[in-house]
Amino acid sequence: MPREIQTQVSPEVAHNESLINEHVAKLLNTSVKEIQKVVVLKRSIDARQKAIKFNIKATVFFKGEDFVEQKIELPEYKNVSNSQEVIIVGAGPAGLFAALQLVELGLKPILIERGKDVRGRRRDLKAINVDHIVNEDSNYCFGEGGAGTYSDGKLYTRSKKRGDIDRILRLLVGFGASDDILVEAHPHIGTNKLPQIIQDIREKIIECGGQVLFETRVTDFIIKNNQMQGIVTQNGDTISANKVILATGHSARDIFELLDKKKIFIEAKPFALGVRAEHPQELIDKIQYSCDFRGEFLPPSPYSIVKQVNGRGMYSFCMCPGGVIAPCATSPGEVVTNGWSPSKRDQATANSGIVVELKLEDFKPFAKFGALAGMEFQKAIEQKAWHLAGQTQKVPAQRMVDFTQNKVSSSIPKTSYVPGTTSVEMGQVFPGFLSQIMREGFKEFGKTMRGYLTNEAILHAPESRTSSPVRIPRDNETLEHFQIKGLYPCGEGAGYAGGIISAAIDGEKCALKIAEALKI
């Protein structure tokens, strides 16, 4: 009978099938010849001791036992060309996986995306990086695949719904992702590989009879007697459907403004805001692995750190080992940062958002904006950063120690942020309370991670799009907006997800609820 084991091995053993077999044979007091296959189920790094180990959970099949290599297969998607239509606004992970689920259930998705297809976005990303031109409909946040496509493709989530997570990961493998994502504790696809997967998902939706409309921005909702009837596009076209999944992401400010204007209830939501810190990857490896050189079998090290400072949480967010910092503004006249890593995580620098939790009371200076107060707070900081850095896509930057000492950095080395940097005292970018928390917080970080607090680290401001500043409320059971029937707020922009996996899960949940309501 197959045996399930949990063990620790050296990095070299973890990456060599024959060495793993030898280790398992010794562990089980048997011969290597008796082992047919060791199937690794989960793999994670334990760097708490000087001798770094990999935790391995595996199933061991012995000679003579039935073992069949499992091939990930996609569900049987139906032809939905003539089926009932459901509108999905936004082709990020929530929208794409909602569309796939609808097709599987026999409903026809009409997927509406304001931006360009995943390949077409590249020209606009080059424009913002090189020419400092922001296309409001096509950028790092808007376009096919959403914000995650060109900002890393991290698949880690703290969600406890393990079955749902596995389903999403298996679907991604079915559409071309490496099956390593089923094994790694912190799976990651990489910005260089995710676009093809996104394209293949879209092609499957279209092949099955669904529709995908690019460069189509929703400018109005058609509502009668508090029931969704459809949407209006920027060209004045109407698309009718009485079920609409709203999956527009955390940066779709025009949608928040539209909802507010139409008196569809929304509410301000706390989020986190701060800077993006960049260190040499070699320095982070040295801190985390307690060694001068990590060797070929250890990946570039991530880090995760949380502190309480003056009653606020300050923590690392979206950490990108071997990655770069990207310009993620969605409108002219603002500066926004984010980070991403290629699949190999082979860049010379490591970066992470370092953010502070905000409270609703922080938005009081913007109270006149009602439910949009948090969004206006966020916008004001992004616009101030743009002015301070020279009214281009350059970002305000400061060396980390200099920031803690309220001292303008005399020089800023070239960083991974392509548009460039301007030396600024960060206290000018943020409200005083936020700057003070970050100054104290970085000192605390330096006590926990010796060597982290250094002038080799460059801070870029702001990291402001951590999550939506607005929540669009919905009924816990039906997932419909409690005021507007047929409207399904979904994913990160509505306040119900925080990353690719959780957004995809939420998209599927909304699709299932629609099928349930239609008695499919």
Encode pLDDT of 115-172 as tens digits: 999 999 999 999 999 999 999 999 999 999 998 777 656 786 666 554 589 999 999 9
Better pLDDT: 232 or 195: 232
Helix (H) or strand (E) holding 463: strand 458-463
Q: Give the CATH number, domain containing residue 153.
A: 3.50.50.60
Same structural domain for residues 348 and 292?
yes
**Does pLDDT of 316 surpass 60?**
yes
Domain boundaries, position 202: 85-266+472-517
- Give pLDDT, residue 385: 98
Same domain, 100 and 246: yes
List the CATH number of the domain containing 42.
Answer: 3.30.70
Query: Quick one: 351 and 216 in the same domain?
Result: no
67 within some domain: no
Q: What is the pLDDT of residue 48?
A: 86
Confidence (pLDDT) at 1 = 84
| Long-range own/partner contacts, residues 213-216 (CB < 8 A, 24 or more apart) | 213/110, 213/111, 213/112, 213/113, 214/113, 214/115, 214/116, 214/117, 214/120, 214/144, 215/113, 215/114, 215/115, 215/116, 215/137, 215/138, 216/112, 216/113, 216/114
Residues 466-497: pLDDT tens digits? 999 999 999 999 999 999 999 999 999 999 99
Regarding whether 486 and 343 lie in a shared domain, the answer is: no
Is the same domain home to 454 and 505?
Answer: no
Residue at 68 is within a domain: no
pLDDT the model gives residue 204: 98
Burial 179-189 (b: 16+ CB within 10 A, else e): eebbbbeebbb
Per-residue pLDDT tens digits for 337-391: 999 888 888 999 999 999 999 999 999 999 999 999 999 999 999 999 999 999 9
Domain co-membership, 165 together with 250: yes
Do 436 and 479 belong together in one domain?
no
End-of-domain residue from the set 441, 463, 485: 463
CA dihedral 66, 72, 75, 77 (to 10 degrees): -140
Q: Is the pLDDT of residue 400 over 80?
A: yes
How confident is the model at residue 32, as a pLDDT? 95
Position 72 in a domain: no
- What average pLDDT does the segment 24-49 reach? 94
- How many folded domains does the chain comprise? 3
> Global pTM?
0.95
Evaluate if residue 185 carries a pLDDT over 90.
no
187 and 300 in a single domain? The answer is no
The predicted pLDDT at position 401 comes to 98
Same domain, 425 and 342: yes
